[in-house]
Amino acid sequence: MNSNTTPDPRWGTRATVLWSAIVLMAFVLVQSLFFGWYVTTHSGESDIEQKIRELQYDGDVIAISTLLTTVLCIPMIFGIVHLKKGARLDDYLPMTIPPGNVLLRWLGFTAVFILASDALSLISGNPIVPDFMKQAYSSTDTKLLLWIALVVAAPAFEETFFRGFMVSGFSRSRLGLSGAVLVSAALWAIIHVQYDWYGVFTIFAFGLFLGAARVQTGSLATPMLIHAVANSFASFQAGLSN
C-alpha cells in the first residue's frame, strides 16, 4: 500500500546521539587546545601546575575559549543539519520571533525563576553568586569581552546545540518532546563542571525551563533571549559582589 507520508527530515536517534557526541568532543577539544596553548605560553616550566589551577577561573581565558567554541561549533551544527538529505535549518533551529506579548510573558517567568532561585540559595545557605563567577569576573582585564562571551556567545551556542539540535533530534525518538527536554537539560548541566553540585542542579532546573520555553513557543529565539537575560543578570550580580 502506498503512503503519502512525508519522511522526517531530521536525523534518527542513533545519528543524533553520534552527531551530538561529535559536537561535544569538538567543544572539549577546542577549549582544551586553547587552554593548553595558553598555559605553555604564559608560564614557566616550574609553575605550570599552579598556572593551570589559576586559569580555570581566569575571566579572560574563559571569555576567549567561549568565543572560540561558539565561532567553530555553531557552523559545525549547521553543517550537520545540511548533511541530512531534505533537512532545513528551520527543522532544527526555528528562529521565528514569537509575538511581543508571548516574549514578555516568558521574560516575566524568567524573573520569577531568578528570584526563586536566589531565595532558595539564601534559604539553603548557598551563595547567590557562585565563587566561580566571582573569581572569573574579578580576574578579567576586559570586562566587555567577558560580557560578550557570557551574554551573546554562550547562549548562542548552547541554545543552538541543546535546545535546538538535541531537542529537535531526540523529540522524534521514544523520548518524545518531554524526554528530549529532560535529556538535553541533564547534559547541559553536566558540562558545567566548574560549579558545585548545587550549581549543577540549578543549571539543570534552568535547562528544563529553557526547554519548556522552546517547546511552548515553537521558537529557539525564546530560550536564547531568556538565556542572555539570565546571564546578564548573573554577570551584573558578579560585578556587584566584587
pLDDT tens figures, 114-155: 999 999 999 999 999 988 899 899 988 889 999 999 999 999
Q: CA 124, CA 126: separation in Å to the nearest integer? A: 6
Higher-scoring residue by pLDDT: 101, 195: 101
What mean pLDDT is reported for the chain? 90
User: Domain boundaries in the chain?
Assistant: 13-241
Q: Which of 242, 215, 226, 241 has its CA nearest to residue 114?
A: 226
At 172, the pLDDT band (50, 70, 90 cuts) reads confident
Q: CA 26, CA 191: separation in Å to the nearest integer? A: 13
Is residue 74 within 8 Å of residue 160, measured between CB atoms? yes
How far lies 78's CA from each of 41, 87, 124, 133, in Å?
33, 11, 42, 31
Name, in order, each residue with C-beta under 8 angstroms of 178's C-beta and a sequence gap of 6 or more.
Answer: none
Q: CA 205, CA 121: separation in Å to the nearest integer? A: 13
Q: Residue 43: what pLDDT?
A: 63
Grid coordinates representing 84 are 541530512
Q: CA 16, CA 160: separation in Å to the nearest integer? A: 14
